């Protein structure tokens, strides 16, 4: 594949050094705890610390670490927003194995740390919009999924990529209740998976992902509703047919396969025109594709977004 030879990001999105330094001071001030001169990336990501990169309007403030890690959706640990932070201690994310399956050059099971070692990690600030109407602004770190896919070398039959969460009721007590069909499965069309924005997330706020955010690795496609970002991934499968995904199985009339953030297509039970940004009093207008239209809209030309919600 030729994709790795292309520049990963347009240069205008690389924040200048001063902003990077200011942000490090900010991270320290909110207690993320950086020793002087320390990298903002976790040790496992520090190998080649990149410039900080920002994909958002400068007016959007980062959501505090306490909210990012204390107000979550992760039904494997309960359906309340504080349940994951309270209950996810039973998850053991190290060591971690991931199965690479389907139409790929070399299917098999890999150790996550070993698998990620050759990659250049990036840090990106993304808006995060839950289908329920809340939103945050989160500094994720991880590997652009396109780099990972380029290395996996899927075959010509790979039209979709499916991500499966761990299924282990001992570690995930919420799986003893059938609130959702387990394991949690999500998927992207191949071009969506290869989009510059799509991130294989291993950290947040420069630290490894806390269990409640999907340790050791979860997905992020920031122009889609949050439920597309499957957590604690144990299998990546490349397939020809559109996969059956958890929320779409659970309530197909409410949660479509695409799940692109779209203020003009309401959820059957509530509006999607506005959102509640964590920490703000007044609601904000939700932006088309969560504000990432410039980077993603061309993937959907000719697709009826009302039918394909």
Ligand X SMILES: Nc1nc2c(c(=O)[nH]1)N[C@H]1C(S)=C(S)[C@@H](COP(=O)(O)O)O[C@H]1N2
Rule CB under 6 A: which residues touch ligand X? 72-76, 128, 130, 165, 184, 213, 226-227, 229-232
User: What, of Mo ion, ligand X, none, does residue 165 touch, CB below 5 to 8 Å by kind?
Assistant: ligand X
Q: 188 - beta bridge partners?
A: 161
Q: Which region, judged by CB under 5 A, interacts with Mo ion, from 50-58, 160-168, 227-235, 247-255?
A: 227-235
Q: How far is the CB of 48 from ligand X (least distance, A)?
A: 25
As a residue count, the chain comes to 309
Stretch in the footprint of Mo ion (CB under 5 A) among 3-11, 109-117, 224-232, 284-292: 224-232
Cα angle for residues 242, 243, 247 (degrees, 5° grid): 120
Nearer to ligand X, 89 or 118 (CB): 89
Q: Which is nearer to Mo ion, 81 or 159 (CB)?
A: 81
Question: In the bound complex, what is the minimum distance in angstroms from residue 51's beta carbon to ligand X?
Answer: 24
CB of 243 to ligand X, least distance (A): 15
CA angle 26, 32, 36 (to 5 degrees): 70
Does 230 bind Mo ion (CB under 5 A)? Our answer is no
Return the number of the residue (232 or 248) whose C-beta is nearest ligand X: 232
Identity of the residue, 151 or 167, whose beta carbon is nearer to ligand X in the bound complex? 167
The region of 72-80, 117-125, 145-153, 154-162 touching Mo ion under the rule CB under 5 A is 72-80
The correct pick among 72, 73, 171, 248 for binding Mo ion (CB under 5 A) is 73
Residue 226 touching Mo ion (CB under 5 A): yes
Binding mask 129-158 for Mo ion (x = CB under 5 A): -xx---------------------------
Which of the choices ligand X, Mo ion, none does residue 75 contact, using the CB cut-off of 5 to 8 A by kind? ligand X
DSSP notation for the chain:
--GGGS-SS-GGGBPPHHHHHHHHHHHHHTT----TT--SS-GGGGGGPPPPEE-S-TT-PPPPHHHHTTS---GGG-SSTTHHHHHGGG---SS-EEEEEESBSS-EEEEHHHHHTTS--EEEEEEEE-TTSEEEEEEEEEEEHHHHHHHH-B-TT--EEEEEE---TTT-GGGGS-SSPSSPEEEEEHHHHTSTT-EEEEEETTEEPPGGGTTT-EEE-TTB-GGGS--SEEEEEEESSPPP-HHHHH-TTTS-SS-B--TTS-BTTB--SEEEETT-SSPEEPPGGGGTHHHHGGGGTT--TTT--
Report the Cα 243 to chain-centroid distance in Å: 18
DSSP bridge partners of 284: 275
Taking the complex as a whole, the smallest distance from the CB of residue 204 to ligand X amounts, in Å, to 8
First CA to last CA across the chain, in angstroms? 31
Q: Which is nearer to Mo ion, 231 or 235 (CB)?
A: 231
Q: Which does 74 bind (CB under 5 to 8 A by kind): ligand X, Mo ion, none?
A: ligand X
State the binding partner of 245 from Mo ion, ligand X, none, CB within 5 to 8 A by kind.
none
184 binds, among ligand X, Mo ion, none (CB under 5 to 8 A by kind): ligand X
| Residue 76 binds which entry of ligand X, Mo ion, none, CB below 5-8 Å type-dependent | ligand X
Question: 79 vs 90, which CB is nearer to Mo ion?
Answer: 79
The residue among 55 and 227 lying less far from Mo ion, judged by its C-beta, is: 227
Query: What is the contact surface with Mo ion in residues (CB under 5 A)?
Result: 73, 130-131, 226-227
């Amino acid at each position: 594949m030729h994709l790795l030879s292309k520049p990963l990001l347009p240069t205008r999105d690389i924040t200048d050094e001063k902003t990077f330094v200011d942000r490090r001071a900010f991270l320290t001030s909110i207690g993320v705890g950086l020793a002087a001169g320390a990298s903002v990336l976790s040790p496992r990501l520090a190998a080649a610390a990149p410039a900080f990169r920002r994909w958002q309007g400068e007016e959007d403030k980062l959501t505090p670490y306490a909210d990012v890690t204390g107000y979550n959706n992760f039904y494997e640990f309960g359906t309340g927003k504080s349940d994951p932070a309270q209950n996810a201690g039973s998850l053991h994310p190290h060591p971690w194995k991931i199965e690479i399956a389907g139409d790929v050059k070399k299917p098999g099971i890999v150790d996550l740390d070993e698998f990620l070692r050759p990659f250049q990690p990036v840090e990106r600030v993304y808006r995060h919009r839950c289908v329920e109407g809340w939103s945050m602004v989160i500094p994720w770190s991880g590997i652009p999924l396109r780099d990972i896919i380029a290395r996996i070398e899927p075959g010509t039959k790979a039209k979709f990529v499916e991500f499966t969460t761990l299924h282990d009721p001992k570690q995930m007590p919420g799986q003893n209740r059938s609130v959702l069909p387990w394991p949690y499965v999500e998927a992207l069309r191949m071009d969506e998976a290869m989009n510059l924005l799509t991130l294989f997330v291993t950290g947040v706020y420069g630290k490894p992902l806390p269990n409640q955010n999907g340790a050791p690795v979860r997905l992020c496609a920031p122009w889609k509703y949050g439920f597309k970002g499957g957590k604690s991934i144990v299998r990546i499968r490349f397939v020809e047919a559109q996969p059956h995904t958890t929320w779409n199985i659970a309530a197909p009339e409410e949660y479509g396969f695409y799940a692109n953030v779209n203020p003009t297509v309401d959820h059957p039970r509530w509006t999607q025109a506005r959102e509640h940004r964590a920490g703000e009093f007044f609601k904000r207008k939700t932006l088309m594709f969560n504000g990432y239209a410039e980077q993603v809209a061309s993937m959907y030309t000719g697709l009826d977004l009302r039918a394909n919600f």
